[in-house]
Amino acid sequence: MPYDGPLTGRTTMPDRCLDLIDRLRARDRWPEEFVWDFDNCDRCAIGMIMHLNGVRYFNLDLPRPYSFPELVERLVGIGGDAANGLFRTPAGKGGEAIPGHRIAPVHVADALERYLETGEVYYAL
């Protein structure tokens, strides 16, 4: 479901979000020695983008203390409840919780594209 159209009624996501979607699908574009684990902040999609951009939690210009949605908004341009639903607490369309070990990189890419297209936040496994 590659996103290829204009966003209706939504703001355009930063290029870094679109780049993350592409990278999640292309293992050959992952950081060297990166191992996927949705439940580990250093090995999930957010960990991947921090690694790619050479940033860590402590060197981002964020007020202390900061929330997870503020971190995600700074990194990929998605904040608030959407940040939590896409990167922290995955759920299916009906709201049922999905264990992190079931979330593969392509699932995150699909969920991000769905969010860009519709504004809906859910995982369709």
- Residue 9: inside a domain: no
Reported confidence tier of residue 75, pLDDT bands at 50, 70, 90 = confident
How far is residue 57's CA from residue 33's CA, in Å, rounded to a whole number? 20
Domain that residue 89 falls in: 15-118
How far is residue 115's CA from residue 63's CA, in Å, rounded to a whole number? 27
- Residue 30: inside a domain: yes
**Higher per-residue pLDDT: 51 or 101:** 101
pLDDT of residue 4: 43
- Residue 7: inside a domain: no
Structure pTM? 0.84
Overall average pLDDT of the 9-28 stretch = 79
How far is residue 40's CA from residue 88's CA, in Å, rounded to a whole number? 10
- Residue 73: inside a domain: yes
- Residue 97: inside a domain: yes
Ranges assigned E (strand) in 8-100: none
Angstrom distances, CA of residue 78 to CA of 27, 31, 33, 121: 23, 22, 26, 11
Total of domains in the chain: 1
Reported confidence tier of residue 34, pLDDT bands at 50, 70, 90 = very high
Is the predicted pLDDT of residue 106 greater than 70, yes or no? yes
Number of other residues whose CB lies within 10 A of the CB of residue 91: 13
